[in-house]
Amino acid sequence: MKKGTRVEFINKNQVCYGVVEKGGNNKNTVVLDGGKREITAEATYFKESSHPLPKDKPTVMDKYSIKGYKSLGGEETDCFTATICLNGKPILYARNAGQGGCNSYNALKDNSDYDKFIKAIKEWTTALGYSKLFEAEDTWVSWYTTQRPYGKTAQSVITEYKEMLEK
């Protein structure tokens, strides 16, 4: 199986769903829906599935995507480079040096694209029930690249942040 393949399998008489993180002919590592657990098993344990990933309700951020994400390790935070797109067109370059600081964003053509992106992020967190999220744009990039592909919804991420920060 290849990385990114949607699969299903039976575990304790229950059908489970996930996405292949590391594929191969022998063993495969699958991240279960929700992104909280992964399992490694023989390829024959899994079969391809058409069962859809969990999805959020539509939001303003559905117009945004990330292309060319490259994770480069990092000391305290993920060191990465990426391009943020609006309706498929590149508008921002995003990066993090991986030394504990926040992400930086640079407009590719129009400086107002960053302001529009931040406005959309604020609308996104408000729609998901937590408008006070600090560095919400960094949360969106992290969710989009490392959790969304494995069925973790934005709603669950924001809810978890809200519960953690309001304790």
| Maximum Cα interatomic distance, the chain, rounded to a whole number of Å | 54
- Predicted pLDDT at 26: 84
**5 Cβ neighbours under 8 A, 6+ residues apart:** 19, 20, 23, 48
- pLDDT tops 90 at residue 133: no
Q: What is the mean pLDDT of the chain?
A: 93
Confidence of residue 77 (pLDDT cuts 50, 70, 90): confident
- pLDDT tops 80 at residue 167: no
Give me the count of residues in the chain. Answer: 167
Question: Which of 2-11, 104-113, 158-167 has the weakest average pLDDT?
Answer: 158-167
CB-based contact 104:117 (threshold 8 Å): no
- Predicted pLDDT at 50: 96
